[in-house]
Structure 1
Amino acid sequence: MKDVIYSINGPVVTVKDTSTFGMAEMVYVGNAGLIGEVISVSEARTTIQVYENTTGLLVGEPVKGTGAPLSATLGPGIMENIFDGIERPLTDIAQKNGAFIATGVHVDSLDMARRWDVTVTVKPGDSVSGGTVVATCPETSIITHKSMVPPDISGVVTWAAENGQYTVTDPICKITTASGEEKTVCLAQKWPIRTPRPVAAREPIGRPLITGQRVIDTLFPIAKGGTAAIPGGFGTGKTMTQHQLAKWSDADIIIYVGCGERGNEMTQVLNEFRELIDPKSGKPMTERTVLIANTSNMPVAAREASIYTGITLAEYYRDMGYDVAMMADSTSRWAEALREISGRLEEMPAEEGFPAYLPSRLAAFYERAGCVQSLSGAAGSVSIIGAVSPQGSDFSEPVTQNTKRFVRCFLALDKSLAYARHYPAINWTMSYSEYYEDLDPYYTEHLGEKFCTMRGRILGLLSEENKLMEIVKLIGSDVLPDSQKVVIETARVIRTGFLQQNAFHKNDTYVPLDKQMWMMEAILHLYDRAVELVDKGVPVSAMAEAGLFDKLVKVKYEIPNDKPEMFGEYNKELDDMCAQLLAKQTPAAG
């Protein structure tokens, strides 16, 4: 036998003296048929990375090529599923092999026996091209699946099936191409995971991804079709922040990739999403969610592939016209998988042992985000939110620094805030968003010009407080004039009453944009009135004793999301309290 294993080094296998395999070809390795991918080809040897555990693999066992790249199967049945890094359904594997994945398990990505209620949307004589929708079926009660002509096929429909029940492999229509070749289109198609799906045009970004988290929506907005990084050390709440974004963001579909994370975290995601009701539809959250779980005890090479599997599924639903949000948790574990494989290949290491091509791999991944006009003419988007886990919260390490180059929103998590139970622990001095210019027209149109003005004032007060706290640390707060004490007190209200959010409180776990604006307006109203009182000789200590500042901290709990008119009453009460303080002060001054 010609193509046999010559050497095994962890997940890296070589075959000597062969010209059978092409670069990036998917292969079956050994007697067990482990799934692998060709990553290097030379005259002397072919190198393969294996996506399963290679324990027990022997030199001399056969390697068989497939003639095709590693591809994802795209069709109805993806939603509500949980896959491993190479799109094998974990529930099916569990039924076959129990709790742990055995090597050489071959399971179809989609249920081949399930029949779907299909409405065929083409008829004989129709001219079709890549992206044309040929059939639709209800994948879940809230997601309609649109089966499309593969991007590389165009021609005239010569036969179309009747409406009815079909499996993902049943022919839906037949297309004769310009060259006279007949192609059969089914509900499902395959697409190489490392190749971005083609689009008709990339559109400019102009809508925010509304998350219901005040610190993000108001201060550091993420755009639909945009990219964001959430870096933070161990225990700072990266996964919890991504859970909140997955639960509450106004994307149509969520792709959650657990890449090298702990198994109990993925179990938590599964359990929470099953119980959670989607606020838009009133149906279970799982009906618009796909989970890809490649936990820390699963093979390293499959961890590297899981990111690409996730983004390919996201692009597929984007092409149907959906807004998709992809959560990658965490890209650091993905980079560690790159580093491990690179080390086994004996490549020259760059900074901290990561391969020299780490920046280009990160760029290729994040550049697959965007707002597009798909080949079918539908408008869709993919937003990527990647968690980064720098060791020891060191943001100068290579993965964080290179990620900053390719994302436009940076939500830095702070260990001291997390330990002080400030959630989400997003540090407002280290974080930034470059989407203001793109999104401000949207905010102005839907909320008025004052929204952007108030955001600027809030950020200004936080920045001023940061400078004043340096002085307070050195000489204490007593020496500050009352005009500066007002800034410190107002910034405390912003921090505890606006930036801090309670994920377990019904009025605070998700906050709509209009309530966020009313809260900002109330805080700035308080600040303006407090400045007036200081100018008239009322000390800040008297305002604090009267509960002027503490009153506003409780607003987030006391005013329901659907009753913004109550803010008018709150502002009136604040005005009355200020008038009483001024009345007490005036006789004393006399």
Structure 2
Amino acid sequence: MKVGKIIKVSGPLVVAEGMDEANVYDVVQVSDNRLVGEIIEMRGDRASIQVYEETTGIGPGDPVYTTGEPLSVELGPGLLEAMFDGIQRPLEEFRKLSGDFLTRGTKVDNLNREKKWHFVPTAKVGDKVIGGDIIGTVQETPLILHKIMVPIGMSGEITSITEGMFTIIEDICVLDGTQKIQMLQKWPVRKGRPFKKKLNPDVPLLTGQRVIDTFFPVAKGGTAAIPGPFGSGKTVVQHQLAKWADTEIVVYVGCGERGNEMTDVLMEFPEIIDPATGESLMKRTVLIANTSNMPVAAREASIYTGITIAEYFRDMGYSVAIMADSTSRWAEALREMSGRLEEMPGDEGYPAYLASRAAAFYERAGKVICNGSDDREGAITVIGAVSPPGGDISEPVSQATLRIVKVFWGLDHALSYKRHFPAINWLNSYTLYQTKMDHWMAENIDPEFAKNRAKAMTLLQEEAQLQEIVRLVGRDSLSYEDQLKLEATKSIREDYLQQNAFHEIDTFCSLQKQNKMLKLILKFYDLGVKAIEKGVYLKSIEKMPVREKIARSKYIEEAHLEQIDEIAQQLEADMNKLIEEGGILDA
């Protein structure tokens, strides 16, 4: 092991000389405490190292030991239900060794080397396999079958494979008599795992959130950003997506989050019951916690750790969602390290390579055909929260993100102040997957779904213009048709777009229910327009008792959706009755 010598310490940045044999992104051990660090710049024999632990007490002359390996994560059984820090050190094991706060220099294996797992072969002796092929399975949790794959780069004929209880470092399979395979694999975090082919993302990631699924859907294998000021509900939206999105694996990265918010996540997730299976949500979740008081350099690494773990499960053929909360704090870590390296700053002090680093992260999303002999499909959907200072999305991190992602859920402080949640502003949010999703909705839900969505969005946009007039000259100056339009859009906003994350029924809404609810509200508008044309009083329409039932349709259970059809029939009957009774409009 080559030994260098420290010549400068600047917070988490350490400069060492005598490192001519090392390479950029190699992992090193700093000082006699063997603190974990990573080389981020080489100049001659001098290496600039970002240290992932507290550097207090380290000074010039202390040794630096090179390992010759890049920063890597350990992949294998034991990932699910675990809570890791930014460089995949298990927090529970840390707590057992050193208490509630991380003690620097503490060494612990990323994955448990002693626990035995029941390995069941799915391949047999004589089979020819290549990198990515599944050779067996381990029932890691009641929800997830962990598929053991041939490491990338290995291939050959199976000469030995054994069923039984093994640790992750014991040999379970031998290729060509010499190549031994264990359940444990390692992969460098900054290098994307390979795949055969990237596919067109054409299936929506269903979240159960009406404003997202109906108006701004994201595709499985797509990318989305949630920019918004503090307190506008980014974290709650991500919790809802983690809980309800129809993915098989969730990777949640708390990147520079407040400690109390991550505590909420760590306490709540084990208690949340996965609605599809009745088991704890943690049974299919990996948590990566790097709070704002943890070393800043590890924050920069945390999202790479998360996406690499997500790629590993994608390669098994699973659909994975990774939540990064928040990439603004990841960018702040980049800015701090860039400043200590004395690099030329870009906008607002962020490094010039901010946009390319963000793109490199988001581009690891996608729906792919995985490596291996079979053509199994896997997908990673990346959903990143952005916390622009003061809610100003013209700042560099938001702009760099919006140039890359295809879905923008713009959170609005004014909406959250009015207690409208999720506070996604329907006038400035967008999705670039709309055409593909409309095709899917027409084939799988309702041929009229796209038309109804477009009609509802048009009404909402027209409402914004009418509200300007109302503010100037009052509502009574509007025509009866326009006043009815305001009533209908109020119903869309309050009864459809608003959704209570803490109500046992309203927290999740299936696409079938969304379709029926939207049709019901639009039916009220269409019938109301006809009634006004026939001379019915607007106040008579506004005071119809059935409107209360329309407003409460969001609380109808999924098993009783026929009740929404009954409300639609009652609405039509009541409106026809109003028309028959007649009503002469005020002059």
Is TM > 0.5 for Structure 1 vs Structure 2?
A: yes
Q: 1:533 to 1:182 in 2, by over 3 A?
A: same
| Conserved? CA contact 2:358–2:400, under 8 Å | yes
* 3-state SS of paired residue (2:335): helix
Deviation readout 1:113-163 (Å, 9 max, x if unpaired): 000011123333322111011221101011011111111112222332x21
Equivalent residue in structure 2 for 1:502, among 482, 500, 503: 500
Contact 2:3 2:65 in 1 (8 A): no
Matches within 5 A, 1:10-409: 10-160=11-161, 162-176=162-176, 182-376=178-372, 377-409=375-407
Alignment partner, residue 10 of structure 2? 9
Give yes or no for contact 1:17–1:43 (8 Å, CA) kept in 2.
Answer: no
Residue 554 of structure 1: aligned partner: 552
Match of 2:543 in 1: 545
1:330 is displaced (CA, Å) by: 0.2
State the SS of the aligned residue for 2:270: helix
User: Structure 1: how far apart are the matches of 2:477 and 2:550?
Assistant: 26
Q: 3-state SS of the aligned residue for 2:469?
A: helix
Identical-pair percentage: 49
| TM superposition shift of 1:458 | 0.7
Q: 1:168 is paired with a residue of what secondary structure? A: coil
TM-superposed CA distance for 1:239, in Å, is 0.3
Give the Cα separation in 1 of the matches to 2:296 and 2:212. Answer: 33
Instruction: Tell me how far apart the structure 2 counterparts of residues 505 and 42 of structure 1 sit (CA, whole Å).
Output: 58
For residue 545 of structure 1, report the CA deviation from its aligned partner: 3.0
Question: Are the aligned partners of 2:537 and 2:584 in contact in 1 as well (CA < 8 Å)?
Answer: no
Using the TM superposition, give the Cα deviation of residue 540 of structure 1 relative to its aligned residue in structure 2, in angstroms.
2.3
Instruction: Tell me the matched-pair count.
Output: 584
> C-alpha separation between the residues in 1 aligned to 2:467 and 2:385?
30
How far apart are residue 497 of structure 1 and its match? 0.3
TM-score by length of 1: 0.97
Q: Is the 8 A contact 1:135 1:187 kept in 2?
A: no
Show the counterpart of 1:576: 573
In structure 2, relative to structure 1, the CA distance for the partners of 1:589 and 1:496 (3 Å cut) is closer
> 1:507: how far off?
1.8
Separation in structure 2 between the aligned mates of residue 544 and residue 587 of structure 1, nearest angstrom: 15
Report Cα offsets for 1:363-418 as digits up to 9, x if no partner. Answer: 00000000011012321100000000000010111111111110000000000100
SS of structure 1 residue aligned to 2:558 = coil
Q: C-alpha separation between the residues in 1 aligned to 2:504 and 2:536?
A: 37
Matched residue, 1:476: 474
Cα distance in 1, alignment partners of residues 29 and 457 from structure 2: 56
Match of 1:452 in 2: 450
What do residues 94-128 of structure 1 show as CA deviations (whole Å, max 9, x unaligned)?
Answer: 11111100111111111110000111233333221
Q: Is the 8 A contact 2:516 2:565 kept in 1?
A: no
Gaps of 5+ in 2: none
Deviates more, 1:39-48 or 1:390-399: 39-48
Amino acid in the other structure paired with 2:353: Y
Shift of 1:579: 3.2
User: What secondary structure is seen at the aligned counterpart in 2 of 1:274?
Assistant: coil
CA contact (8 A) 1:493 1:549 kept: no
1:489·1:549 contact (CA, 8 Å) conserved in 2?
no
Q: Secondary structure at the match of 1:275?
A: coil
Give 2:215's aligned amino acid.
L
Distance in 1 (CA, whole Å) between partners of 2:479 and 2:578 is 19
Which one is further off, 421-430 or 504-513? Answer: 504-513
Counterparts of 1:587 and 1:277 in 2: how far apart (Å)? Answer: 55
TM-score, with structure 2 as normaliser: 0.97
For structure 1, list consecutive stretches of 5 or more residues without a partner in the other structure.
none
Q: In 2, Cα distance between the equivalents of 1:587 and 1:413? A: 44
In 2: Cα distance, 1:328 partner to 1:29 partner: 29
- Partners of 1:580 and 1:539 lie apart in 2 by 13
1:410 aligns with 2:408: yes
Give the Cα–Cα distance (whole angstroms) in 2 for the partners of residues 536 and 124 of structure 1. Answer: 80
C-alpha contact (below 8 Å) 2:546/2:567 kept by paired residues: no
Inter-CA distance 297–275: structure 2 relative to 1 (3 Å threshold): same
The structure-2 alpha-carbon separation of the partners of 1:202 and 1:589, relative to structure 1 and needing over 3 Å to count, comes to closer
